[in-house]
């Protein structure tokens, strides 16, 4: 039973999380859930294809993989299907969302949820203060 954490590019969906912060988030999640991490996998910058993780899985046969977020999964359908086929028996954990699961259906649901955020309106935090954000919320209600 090998448990791994995977760090990816700093740009994770709507988040900007440096790799050292990703490690802190995943290690905290692992500790709270009593998951002894054995391998830390750094994926290449600007990659969400989990190629290094797939390659290492052939040797280590991961039982659980911890990622910071569902936004680290591949968006490309072919790459997503590769992940699903390669890791069909591996339990995925997503620390920020606080969810875990295994199998085709679970990974597809995570990818679909991630896609919802791609089309969401981004708010420039430099342009808004709390009062303006509250007014924006009220106008959209």
Copy the structure tokens of residue 10.
């700093």
Number of separate domains in the chain: 1
**72: closest CA among 140, 4, 11, 1?**
11
Tell me the per-residue pLDDT of 71-117, one tens digit each, with 9 for 90 and over: 999 988 899 999 999 999 999 999 999 999 999 999 999 999 998 88
Tokens representing 8?
Answer: 């990816």
Residue 120's CATH number = 3.40.50.1390
- Tell me which residue of 117, 14, 17, 113 sits closest to 67, measured CA to CA: 17
Q: How confident is the model at residue 42 (pLDDT cuts 50, 70, 90)?
A: very high
> Could you give the angle at which helices 77-86 and 51-60 cross, rounded to 10 degrees?
10
Element (H, E) at 24: helix 19-32
- For 27, the domain range is 2-140
């Amino acid at each position: 039973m090998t448990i791994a954490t995977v760090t990816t590019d700093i740009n994770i969906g709507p988040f900007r999380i440096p790799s050292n912060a990703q490690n802190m988030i995943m290690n905290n999640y692992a500790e709270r859930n009593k998951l002894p991490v054995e391998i830390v996998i750094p994926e290449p910058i600007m990659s969400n294809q989990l190629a290094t993780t797939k390659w290492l899985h052939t040797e280590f046969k991961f039982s659980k993989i911890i990622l910071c977020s569902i936004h680290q999964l591949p968006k490309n359908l072919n790459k997503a299907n590769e992940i699903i086929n390669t890791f069909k028996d591996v339990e995925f954990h997503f620390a920020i969302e606080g969810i875990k699961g295994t199998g085709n259906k679970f990974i597809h649901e995570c990818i679909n949820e991630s896609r919802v955020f791609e089309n969401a309106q981004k708010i420039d935090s430099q342009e808004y203060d709390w009062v303006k954000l509250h007014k924006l919320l009220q106008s959209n209600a």
